[in-house]
Amino acid sequence: MSTETSSGTGPDRTEEMTIREAIRLALREELDRDDDVFVMGEDVGAFGGVYEVTGDLVEQFGEERVRDTPISEAGFMGAAVGAAATGTRPVVEIMFSDFIGVCSEQIINQMAKNRYMFGGKTEMPVTVRTTEGGGSGAASQHSGTIHTWFAHFPGVMAVAPATPASAKGLLKSAIRSDDPVIVFENKQIYEQKGEVPLDDDFTIPIGTASVEREGEDVTVVATQRMVGESLELAEELAGQTSVEVVDLRSLYPMDTETLVESVKKTGRLVIADESPLSYGTHAEVATRVMENAFYSLDAPIQRVGVADVHIPFSPALEEEVLPHGSDVEAAINRIV
């Protein structure tokens, strides 16, 4: 069942939790639901994950289903591809998305192409969880936002949750999918709280965006951390400028219909995503809107993101490079 529930009592009851806790809950529910599901990655077992996401899962499900691996992304990513091809559902954690390059052969040439190369006769139910984003002073090799790379590549779906509910719902959909999905988790919002449906069958269909706040004057399409910052800004501007905030959620497939409907209503678009501005997520969103709602636009589309530079180690420089709500406000002011 693919449903999206809100708050209430009975089957629709919710509980406030962090994004970290929501991801752990999704993993726990899917491990409990399907014996073919298992988790693997560096320090996911006894250590509980580098960001404490897997927590105590190893105590409940044991070391066979919550597997610590050597520091060898190519090795355990390849093992996951083989395991999926032979009937299981691995959930692989790549500690930092910056390290995906080490196992890009296994992802791009094997995982993404397997079903195609075998004429649709095989399934490849691999879920890859990985962290991304700056803001923790971890320098450029641990702070990149690379989701555009894999949203671009055929054969792989890519999602980027921004709220606890979407973190749970999208991850559960990914694990249940018979095709590979990469879940990009912004590490700076793990402690962000929100209501999460407790129904074991709560999922969010991959390929759907969400209008988080309705508005009339400008649409802000945002991802991950920038969703929360955009919502805070929209509240601050209420009474002055009516801002509609759309959480993109799914990078590929992308929910073009929701984006276009919003822009047809507001006539203006700002795209906020913590990735480099050139050749990326911003450009794809902008192009889809231009192709489908060009005559609804009353002003040039604005982009908010990272300049084409690496994330600095210096806290002051890192703060300067990363996008914030103030950058979204400046973009809005340029066109409203």
pLDDT of 328 strictly over 60: yes
**Burial readout 202-237 (b: 16 or more C-beta within 10 A, e: otherwise):** bbbebbbbbebbebebbbbbbbbbbbbbbbebbeeb
- What distance in Å separates the CA atoms of residue 52 and residue 43, rounded to the nearest whole number? 9
- The pLDDT > 90 percentage for the chain reads 95
Identity of the amino acid at 33: R
Q: What would the pLDDT profile of 277-316 be if each residue is shown by its tens digit?
A: 999 999 999 999 999 999 999 999 999 999 999 999 999 9
**Could you give the number of structural domains in the chain?**
2
pLDDT of residue 281: 97
pLDDT of 153 strictly over 80: yes
Q: Could you tell me if 228 and 184 lie in one domain?
A: no
> What value does the mean pLDDT take over residues 116-138?
95
Active site members: 73, 142
Domain of 115, CATH number, reads: 3.40.50.970
Q: Could you tell me if 182 and 233 lie in one domain?
A: no
- What distance in Å separates the CA atoms of residue 37 and residue 176, rounded to the nearest whole number? 9
How sure is the predictor about 11, in pLDDT bands with cuts at 50, 70 and 90?
A: low
Does a structural domain hold residue 203? no
Domain of 282, CATH number, reads: 3.40.50.920
pLDDT of 76 strictly over 60: yes
Which stretch of 8-12, 34-38, 113-117, 129-133 has the lowest confidence by average pLDDT?
Answer: 8-12
Q: Could you tell me if 174 and 216 lie in one domain?
A: no
Q: Could you tell me if 246 and 283 lie in one domain?
A: yes
pLDDT of 8 strictly over 50: no
What is the number of other CB atoms lying within 10 angstroms of the CB of residue 178? 11
> What value does the mean pLDDT take over residues 308-335?
96
Final residue before a domain boundary, out of 135, 167, 197: 197
pLDDT of residue 3: 44
Does a structural domain hold residue 47? yes
> What value does the mean pLDDT take over residues 101-105?
95
Does a structural domain hold residue 59? yes
pLDDT of 330 strictly over 80: yes
Coil/strand/helix, residue 213: strand
Compute the 3-state secondary structure of the chain and give helix, strand, coil in percent, each to the nearest 5: 40, 20, 40
Coil/strand/helix, residue 59: helix
Q: Could you tell me if 128 and 220 lie in one domain?
A: no
Q: Could you tell me if 183 and 261 lie in one domain?
A: no
Q: Could you tell me if 173 and 60 lie in one domain?
A: yes
Give Dmax (Cα) for the chain: 57
Q: What is the pTM of this model?
A: 0.95
- What distance in Å separates the CA atoms of residue 281 and residue 261, rounded to the nearest whole number? 19
| Nearest C-alpha neighbor of 250 from the set 317, 181, 303 | 181
- What distance in Å separates the CA atoms of residue 209 and residue 161, rounded to the nearest whole number? 10
Q: Could you tell me if 87 and 227 lie in one domain?
A: no
Q: Could you tell me if 158 and 233 lie in one domain?
A: no
Which stretch of 2-11, 88-97, 313-322 has the lowest confidence by average pLDDT?
Answer: 2-11
Q: Could you tell me if 184 and 276 lie in one domain?
A: no
How sure is the predictor about 106, in pLDDT bands with cuts at 50, 70 and 90?
A: very high
Mean per-residue pLDDT of the chain: 95
Q: Is the dihedral of CA 268, 274, 280, 281 positive or negative?
A: negative
Which residue blocks in 62-193 are alpha helix, DSSP H?
A: 73-85, 104, 114-117, 147-151, 164-176
- What distance in Å separates the CA atoms of residue 179 and residue 85, rounded to the nearest whole number? 11
Does a structural domain hold residue 129? yes
pLDDT of 322 strictly over 80: yes
Does a structural domain hold residue 180? yes
Does a structural domain hold residue 297? yes
Q: Is the dihedral of CA 184, 187, 189, 193 positive or negative?
A: positive
Final residue before a domain boundary, out of 197, 226, 251: 197
> What value does the mean pLDDT take over residues 112-139?
95
pLDDT of residue 6: 43
pLDDT of 7 strictly over 50: no
pLDDT of residue 5: 42
Final residue before a domain boundary, out of 134, 166, 197: 197
Q: Could you tell me if 182 and 275 lie in one domain?
A: no
Q: Could you tell me if 44 and 123 lie in one domain?
A: yes
Strand partners, 193: 18
Does a structural domain hold residue 205? no
Query: What range defines the domain where residue 153 resides?
Result: 6-197
Q: What would the pLDDT profile of 186-235 be if each residue is shown by its tens digit?
A: 999 999 999 999 999 999 999 999 999 999 999 999 999 999 999 999 99
pLDDT of residue 12: 81
Give φ, ψ of 25 to 5 degrees.
-65, -45
pLDDT of residue 4: 52
Q: What would the pLDDT profile of 18-70 be if each residue is shown by its tens digit?
A: 999 999 999 999 999 999 999 999 999 999 999 999 999 999 999 999 999 99
Coil/strand/helix, residue 170: helix
Does a structural domain hold residue 325? yes
Strands 181-186 and 127-132: parallel
pLDDT of residue 2: 38
